Amino acid sequence: MSETVAQDEVEERAPEALPLDAWNRARGARMVPFAGYEMPIQYEGIVAEHNWTRSSASLFDVSHMGQLSVSGDAAVLALEALLPGDIAGLGEGQMRYSMLLDEQGGILDDLIVTHAGPHYALVVNGAMKWDDIAHLREHLPDEVTLTHQDEQALFALQGPLAATALEAIVPGVSELTFMTAGLFDWGGVPLWTSRSGYTGEDGYEISVPAELADRLADALLSDTRVKPAGLGARDSLRLEAGLPLYGHDLTTETDPVSAGLLFALSKNRRQSGGWMGHDAVAQVLANGPATKRIGLSLEGRLPAREGAEVFAGAEKVGTVTSGGFSPTLGHPIAMAYVSAAHAAPDTPLEIEVRGKRLPAQVVKVPFVPHRYHRKGAA
């Protein structure tokens, strides 16, 4: 799980500065308000940074994300009362994508949970972290401790050369496989590092003490294989990877089944229940979802953005939730929720953009194949 910024998204409240604010500005970053912070949307340019991530390695500052820890003897049972995944089955260093749900099965946020040894680590979306903290504090029992690790910065190093670049300064990280994590030494500084990310490429997320963030960034960028990248490229990459963005593709109005996130509902826990929202989600599983999240491929160059209406003939059948031009594929792509009857691959549809109907076709996601370094892969 991770979070990206839609390129035309604007926030109204006064943003705060993150640990790398001065570092980002000194490197020519174009800063925009997002999730309550000033964030770098681009440095050299969104398309250039997107393509560099596909071919080499890019460093993203994602310090706005919420880094939380949940500890105590009852931590596992408490988390399983809130998350639909098999948390008890996680071995030390293993990670799982999951969600916080409300009683109606609506998605409050998506997140990553990791068995970090003495505690469970949660990484939640920056725009939702205060709501998530409030929700967790309300529902976790008193004997379970929730800690917001706000003294930590967070980097995402993504791309096919990320492993060799990071291994050069943090020995041992190349032994990690996708969705595993561990504590590694960087010149006497402990770095909690996971082989994960939200670009569809191989890569890492690295938690570092905030006061050392600029030093680590400089060390990584001293390698010519690594360049900084902003949230604009992160958004176009996650869209090509078919990964949903909270607040757009996922909201309290969507449920895990309609969103196509069945893999996050561990099979044994679908049946046993015991987690918030189970009854509502079980009904959707039994009856089938009324709408489904799908991928759409468009011709030409005009992209369909969030909110564009989707039609089958004269009938409106859905709405675009994420969309843009794909630098890798060379044409626009989008994700949308449409009625289940129109969700099958190869179904021809139309999207209304600027008063015109653009032809589109339902396609399987990801639009661009994932290149994660999975266990057992060559």
Q: Do 71 and 62 meet the contact criterion of CB atoms below 8 Å apart?
A: no
Residues of the chain below pLDDT 50: 1-11
- Residue where a domain terminates, one of 212, 240, 268: 240
CATH number reported for the structural domain that contains residue 327 in this entry: 2.40.30.110
pLDDT of amino acid 308: 98
CATH number reported for the structural domain that contains residue 29 in this entry: 3.30.1360.120
Report residue 22 as tokens. 């001065």
Is residue 302 located within the same domain as residue 171?
no
CA gap 21, 12 in Å, rounded? 19
pLDDT of amino acid 14: 80
pLDDT of amino acid 13: 58
State whether the Cα torsion 50-52-56-61 is positive or negative.
negative
- Residue where a domain terminates, one of 181, 210, 240: 240
In this structure, is residue 104 part of a structural domain? no
Is residue 305 located within the same domain as residue 365?
yes
Is residue 49 located within the same domain as residue 154?
yes
The number of folded domains in the chain is: 2
pLDDT of amino acid 263: 96
Q: Which residues pair with 82 in a beta bridge?
A: none
Who's near 376: CB < 8 A, 6+ residues apart?
none
pLDDT of amino acid 198: 97
- Residue where a domain terminates, one of 206, 221, 240: 240
In this structure, is residue 8 part of a structural domain? no
Is residue 216 located within the same domain as residue 154?
yes
Boundaries of domain holding 202: 21-62+150-240
Element (H or E) spanning 191, and its range? strand 189-194
Is residue 195 located within the same domain as residue 342?
no
pLDDT of amino acid 376: 80
- Global pTM value: 0.94
Tell me the per-residue pLDDT of 145-167, one tens digit each, with 9 for 90 and over: 999 999 999 999 999 999 999 99
In this structure, is residue 365 part of a structural domain? yes
In this structure, is residue 101 part of a structural domain? no
In this structure, is residue 230 part of a structural domain? yes
